Amino acid sequence: MNIVADEGVDRCIIDRLRQDGHQVWYVAEMAPAISDEAVLDMANREAALLVTADKDLGEMVFRQRRFTRGIVLVRLAGLSAARKAQVVVAAVNRHQSELAKGFTVIAPGICRTRRLSR
């Protein structure tokens, strides 16, 4: 799966996604400090799922009606880096088809997707 990961996503998550065979563009490696709009545009240009820890991207999609190919919001504060990576990669691998169609929140014990209207 093609994935753009915002710079606030833990490095261990990026590494695990890549180990599982996903193509990951990591904003922190490419263009740190770019705007949320530029991150969303990059994900759309690459036909990629956007993985982020930034709640503002949800506002862009729902209130501003910006197009996205899918967003995963990672809300796993308090978990170890290794556990965060495990949870995110498991959700991505298990729910790939649904993630590409919605706004998904991954929190401890929860993977909830809200389908986006196109």
Task: Judge whether 70 and 50 are in contact, CB under 8 Å.
Answer: yes
CB 78 within 8 A of CB 5: no
Q: Give the chain's mean pLDDT.
A: 93
Q: Block means of pLDDT (10 residues each) for the chain, length 118 residues?
A: 96 97 96 93 95 89 85 95 96 92 92 84
Any idea where the domains of the chain sit in the sequence? 2-115
Q: Is the pTM value of this prediction over 0.85?
A: yes
The distance from CA 10 to its chain's CA centroid, rounded to whole angstroms, is: 11
CATH of 2-115, one of 3.40.50, 1.20.1050, 1.10.357, 2.40.10: 3.40.50
